[in-house]
Each structure stands twice: as structure tokens, then as C-alpha cells.
Amino acid sequence: MKFYKLLSIATVAALSVTIAGCSSSSTSSTSSNNTTEQKSADQVLGVSLSNPIKVDKEKGTITVLAQVNGKYFNQTTRHGSVEQSGSNGAKSVLTAFAKPEEFYNALVEIGAKAGENMTPANAATTHVEGTPIKMEVTWEGAPKTYDINEIITDSNGKKIDFRFGGNLQRAKDKNTGCLTCLDSCPVGIISNTTYTYGAVENTGEVKFTGNSDVLPEDGTYVATVYSIDKDKA
């Protein structure tokens, strides 16, 4: 009788340990899930409002946080990506959160060479030069990473071809905030060599709009990823 009593006590003790273990595991799992759910909307591909630019020298990439500006799904613009505090900060398809100087320095860090061939005097007749730069865009829940030509539409059906123009001192002086321009530009850090300056606003040769069939809704945070375009370099 004493033996059965001891066995009963041991069984109860073992069950208590098992239940406690399960409870602990469940709590840990719930805590882990809560941590995942609490990820901020501005955190995309390793960048966020608190850390808006990331350079991976080994991979040769620069990641910059930006936000979709739905205004340019319907209106045309010559601005691809502009830093939000610049004078052109509200005029681009993507509102960026890294400053032109940071972007310029990051491009130099991954080995890009500035063309430095654009000036206000020659802009209307000059195509920007410099290292070819590939630009891609993605966001939380995106099915893939999109090329710039998939998310911005050229009315002529031509390809956007970014080059590292440079223009750092002019970018500082003008304080426009321009990172990526959609025609050749004497101020933007990179710009589109397909067109000379003024092709959008002066001659009306081309219209650029954000592709609402691909881009997420207005205000969505996205990661813009830049690298040297080795197919053109």
C-alpha cells in the first residue's frame, strides 16, 4: 500500500513537470510571435526611419528607405527619388529618407565613378555620364524585387538608364534633395541618360508616372536597392 502511494506521488510530480514545460514553451512561442507582429511598417530589407541607408560593400549594394507617393500615379514628374526634406521632397514617385551626400558617398564606397559632365549651362544638350547604376524596388509582401523600369512608366516606352552623374557640391548648394532624376540632371546624384535635361518639363518629349499596377498604395514604405549595372559597365 505504501509502495502504491509513493508511485502515485511520483506520477503526479512527473505530470506537473510536463505541464509546466508545455506552459513555458507556449509562452515562449507566443512571445516570439508578438515580437514578429510588432515589426514596424517602416522596416524594409534592413532599413528603417532610424537607419534609412545601408551599404553592403561585399555585395556591392546600397539600400535606401523610401515611401510611395501616389500623387504621381496620375501626374507626370521628372523626379524618381528625392530626399523628403529637400525642396523637391514632395515631387517624386518615391520619397527617400537618405540625403544626397550619404547616397553619393555610398556609391563611391561600392566602386562607382562620377561622370561630372553636367552643368546648368550644358544640361539641355548633354546626356549624363558616369558608372551605370541599376535601381530595384521591393517592399513587405512584394512577390519579387522590381526593376525601376517596371515601377516607373516612360510614355515613349524607352528604358530608364541611370548613370552616376555626381554633382555633390551642386546638390548641397541647391538643397533639392534629388537622388535619382528621370532625365539627365546637373544636380541629381544619379540621373537618366536616355534624355537630356528639360525633356519632361520644357519640351514635353516624355512623361513619367509611377506604375500603379505594380507599386503598392500611397504611403507604403519601400526599399530602393542600387548597384553597379555590370551589363552596361
Query: What is the residue-wise DSSP string for 98-133?
Result: S-HHHHHHHHHHTT--B-----TTTGGG----BSEE
pLDDT in the model for residue 38 = 59
Retrieve residue 192's grid coordinates. 537618366
- Whether residue 105 sits in one domain with residue 57: yes
pLDDT at 14 over 50: no
Q: Is the pLDDT of residue 8 over 60?
A: no
Q: 166 vs 32, which has greater pLDDT?
A: 166
Say if 47 falls within a structural domain. Answer: no
Looking at the fold, whether 144 and 31 belong to one and the same domain comes out as: no
Asked if residue 46 is part of any domain, the answer here is: no
> Above 60 in pLDDT, residue 45?
yes
197 and 84 in a common domain: yes
Number of domains in the chain: 2
| Residues of the chain above pLDDT 70, percent | 83
The answer to whether residue 44 is domain-embedded is: no
Residue 63 sits in the same domain as residue 16? no
**For residue 209, how many other CB atoms are within 10 A of its CB?**
17
Decide if 72 is inside a domain: yes
For residues 126 and 26, the model is more confident at 126
Where in the sequence is the domain holding 9, given as residue range(s)?
1-38
pTM metric for this prediction: 0.84
Does residue 233 form part of some domain?
A: no
pLDDT band at 233 (very low <50, low <70, confident <90, very high): confident
